[in-house]
Amino acid sequence: MQLTPARAVALNVLSLYGVALMLAGAFAAQLVLHELPCPLCLLQRVMIALLAVGPILNIRFGLRTSHYALSMLAAVIGAVVSGRQILLHILPGDAGYGTALLGYHYYTWAFIGFGLAIALLATILLSDRQFAHDASPPSTGRFATVAVWLVIALTAANVLSTLLECGFNSCADNPVVYELLKRAT
């Protein structure tokens, strides 16, 4: 099956929903389980949000290898950061950071997600047919618009919660309280 421009745009939109799912999952764990993210967790969230830059650019300005490359860089850096956190908790007897979901901690799921993103991006870049069209942006519908704004809203919510958690200082290694809310009381 050839990756036509229309299929490539659809795949970019679906990838935005995947990014939104990862951001929402992390944010939900923070709010429901009351587990504040550590600095490495926050950096992983930044890299997850940056994964969305390539698809958003592809949807808005047209398909470009450079847009995919931006997402690939975010995925590689995210894999390194989440891999680093996995290595911090690999010793026997180390319970890890936070609650495990289906046997894996969030940073392990992030590592898997970044690895899948790298594989998907590499596979997408193998298809030259998607780039064999005029330079005009593709036409997109409401499904794409909702995906873009969903990722933007979730990213903004994560930025706001990070500000509440860390304040205007460095984030605590093992955060237990929202610093800005603590100061307000």
Q: CB pairs under 8 A, 24+ apart, for 42-47?
A: 42/162, 42/166, 42/171, 43/81, 44/78, 44/81, 44/82, 44/85, 44/106, 44/107, 44/110, 45/158, 45/162, 47/74, 47/75, 47/77, 47/78, 47/81, 47/114
> How far from the centroid of its chain's Cα atoms is residue 111's Cα?
11
- Higher-confidence residue of 72 and 36: namely 72
Domain ranges in the chain are 5-158
pLDDT for residue 122 is more than 60 = yes
Task: Tell me phi and psi for residue 101, to 5 degrees.
Answer: -120, 115
Q: What is the mean pLDDT of the chain?
A: 88
Three-state secondary structure along the chain?
Answer: CCCCHHHHHHHHHHHHHHHHHHHHHHHHHHHHCCCCCCHHHHHHHHHHHHHCHHHHHHHHHCCCHHHHHHHHHHHHHHHHHHHHHHHHCCCCCCCCCCCCECCECHHHHHHHHHHHHHHHHHHHHCCCHHHCCCCCCCCCCHHHHHHHHHHHHHHHHHHHHHHHHHCCCCCCCCCCCCHHHHHHC
pLDDT of res. 52: 96
pLDDT digits (tens, 9 = 90+) for 152-183: 999 999 999 999 988 888 888 888 888 888 76
pLDDT for residue 27 is more than 70 = yes
Confidence of residue 185 (pLDDT cuts 50, 70, 90): low
pLDDT of res. 102: 84
pLDDT of res. 51: 96
> What's the average model confidence in pLDDT over 8-34?
91
pTM of full prediction above 0.95: no
